[in-house]
Structure 1
Amino acid sequence: MQYRVQGIVIRTTDYGEGNKIVTLFTREYGKMGVVARGVKKVKSRYGSTVQLFTFGDYSFFKSGGLGTLNHAEIIEAFHKIREDLHKAAHASYLAELTDRMMGDQEGEPFLFDQMKASLQAIQEDKDLQIIGHLYEMKMLMHAGYQPELEQCVVCGQAAEPAVFSIGLGGMMCERCRLRDPQAFPLTPGVYKLLRLFVRMDVRRLGQIDVKPQTKTLLKEMMRAYFDQHVGLRLKSRDFLDQMDKYGV
């Protein structure tokens, strides 16, 4: 069957001497793998079209497992991302997160739009951490792990939030907070951002100014929540942690 799709390159793997296996995140069909033959050769006309993060039009024939690429055109190359270490590292995290959490040919048009908008936001110099958390929340919601932020996870009352329980999966009120001694304190700033991440479309993200202490607490909470409920070990996240550790 012949496919013609718009897709984002989220992973590439060398295959033989001159070929690559390219994983595309497509709007209509979700994640799809295609073989791009000869793209490692200097004169290949498709070499630039299968670089990581590239958004383009792709045509390929697929009858069983992997498809075979027979045409590709770049729509947006996202050069600024690949030319900047910090941008590339954060974009790689989003790409790996998508690759690991999405099943093959699991069409999710909304998530595709969020991924493309996240890359655009990274290219436009918007806050890298906030972009990452926004996309993380969309993936959590897709996987069925959306945290409870509207009512206490213990008593069910829509009371003023006091803490956030990683293990119980959401906010707790003052009366119930002792049910989880390890719960994170839920400051107004962090609570507002968590609810924003659930409701906001990445395509509407503007410039945002968040206090450093709020971002630190938010990062700790999101990391702990992902580790508890999703449990994926991602090389790209380890690399981001190394960059933070050594102040790169």
Structure 2
Amino acid sequence: MPETKTTLLTAIPLAKFEAKSGSHVLSFFTWEQGQIRAIVRTARGKKKPSVPLLPLFSTYEILFTQPRQADGLYELKERETVTGRQKLNSGTPLEPWAAASVLSELLLRTTEKEDPHPYLFSMLDKALDCMESGDSPGILLTAFLVKFLEHMGYRPRWESPEANLSERKYWWFDPALGGLFTQKEIGRVVEEEERPSLRKPTRTSSEEIAIIHRFRLSKFEEIEGNEAEVATAKKWVPLLGDYVEYHLETRLKSLDFWKEIQPKRKK
């Protein structure tokens, strides 16, 4: 018999699916190889899988058996828990669990199999650590999405978050610069000829600017140790939701996972 080949990967489970004969297929996001699929088989005559299913929001070192050409599925051979995150996996409180589920769904739908993204893996690992330790799910979710868009190379554009034309305020959304900026803010970082002319700049409070600065790449690693009011950050979420929907709907085909967590907007 040919020798069975194995590979050791650092992995976070994204989702699990039922397969034939009671087996399960797990989707993992790995540091080394991006998204992969692995099968957990159920032994004959037993209802439970021969290998226990892994909690979705934990990080593991896993020794996988290389996939066969027929199905392209890896098999779990040995595993060691790197970070367990018991609170997140218990689903209590609900908000961090829901935010972590959105991040898992986003990566499941927008990354290809066997396409490595070590940067995104580090971001996911860090965001899950922060949620486990009690940091604001809203701020972490927004910060992650800003950096996700930056990594995927989406271009900035002008936004109008208010429907009332007489009170309309414009924002410059540029992931490459770290997030959301008012016209006054971008005057220091963007050349005049690159910007559409606006009637007047938007005023922002020091608290709002502090939230904006938290989205910068250099600040992302510090989120775990910082404090911020969730209410201050909430105003950015609908705007970012519009931006994500505008850019990703053609790729995701369905944005139900995002729309379900958004508050109902008044028409």
TM beyond 0.5:
yes
Residue 36 (structure 2) aligns with: 32
Residue 208 (structure 1) aligns with: 227
Alpha-carbon separation, structure 2, partners of 1:238 and 1:148: 21
Aligned 8 A contact 1:2 1:59 in 2: yes
2:73 counterpart (66, 74, 84):
66
What is the identity, as a one-letter code, of the residue corresponding to 1:80?
K
Aligned 8 A contact 1:23 1:31 in 2: yes
Alpha-carbon separation, structure 2, partners of 1:70 and 1:118: 28
Relative to structure 1, the CA distance from residue 36 to residue 125 in structure 2 (aligned partners, 3 Å threshold; closer, same or farther) is same
Relative to structure 1, the CA distance from residue 106 to residue 240 in structure 2 (aligned partners, 3 Å threshold; closer, same or farther) is same
Offset, 1:63 = 4.0
Residue 199 (structure 1) aligns with: 217
Matched, 1:237 2:255: no
Aligned 8 A contact 2:88 2:131 in 1: yes
Q: How many residues of Structure 1 are paired with residues of Structure 2 in the alignment?
A: 223
TM-score, structure 1 normalization: 0.76
Residue 152 (structure 2) aligns with: 143
Aligned 8 A contact 2:24 2:39 in 1: yes
The unaligned stretches of length 5 or more in structure 2 are: 159-168, 174-178, 185-195
Alpha-carbon separation, structure 1, partners of 2:204 and 2:143: 18
Relative to structure 1, the CA distance from residue 81 to residue 42 in structure 2 (aligned partners, 3 Å threshold; closer, same or farther) is farther
Aligned 8 A contact 1:148 1:170 in 2: no
Q: Which has the larger radius of gyration?
A: 2
Name the Cα RMSD after superposition: 3.1
Aligned 8 A contact 1:190 1:218 in 2: no
Offset, 1:71 = 2.1
TM-score, structure 2 normalization: 0.71
Relative to structure 1, the CA distance from residue 240 to residue 123 in structure 2 (aligned partners, 3 Å threshold; closer, same or farther) is same
1:182-230 C-alpha deviation (Å, 9 max, x unpaired): xx95734445534431323543212321362x32321111111111122
2:141 counterpart (132, 136, 139):
132
Secondary structure class of the residue paired with 2:215:
helix
The unaligned stretches of length 5 or more in structure 1 are: 150-161, 179-183
Offset, 1:93 = 0.4
